[in-house]
Amino acid sequence: MFDARPLEKATLSSILRLEVASEQRIFVSTSPVTVAQSMFEPASEVFGLWDGEGAVGLIGMIDFTRPDADLVEGEEPDNFYLWRLLIDQGQQHKGYGSRALGFFLDRAREKGIARVTLTAVDAPGTPIPFYERHGFTRTGRIIEGEVQMARVI
């Protein structure tokens, strides 16, 4: 059964071993980098994605509505940001990415946030079509070289 769990010492090694396919590495940072960076972003939330007892991915979010959020230039303080979404290469095309997005949207709703954003590299093999299928649209903004996409929920 799929679920998202906060990171724990006992299961961290399973999360740190997750890897995307080599051709996807230009689109998403590794799970060890994400875990390390989250220590310096007080408004971040990082969860392991699990199917039963097997780690299948990692999701990171930043709540820009929090006063301690480290806003990136051009980012708006009234949204919830999908910072990282990584599904292990051996677990892709099984619906885990869609379920992770559902978890992300539910978290935003729980917080009373009506707008969510993400950024994605626009290059061959980009995940942009995946996000578009889930209701995200391009905003026309480029943030740190990546295409910003948004969705109202």
- Domain-by-domain residue ranges, the chain? 2-152
CATH architecture label of 2-152: 3-Layer(aba) Sandwich (3.40)
Dihedral, CA of residue 69, residue 70, residue 71 and residue 76, to nearest 10: -10
**18-43 pLDDT tens trace:** 999 999 998 999 999 999 999 999 99
Query: CA dihedral defined by 92, 98, 100, 101, rounded to 10 degrees?
Result: 140
User: 91 with 99: CB under 8 angstroms?
Assistant: no
* Predicted TM-score of the model (pTM): 0.93
% of the chain with per-residue pLDDT over 70: 98
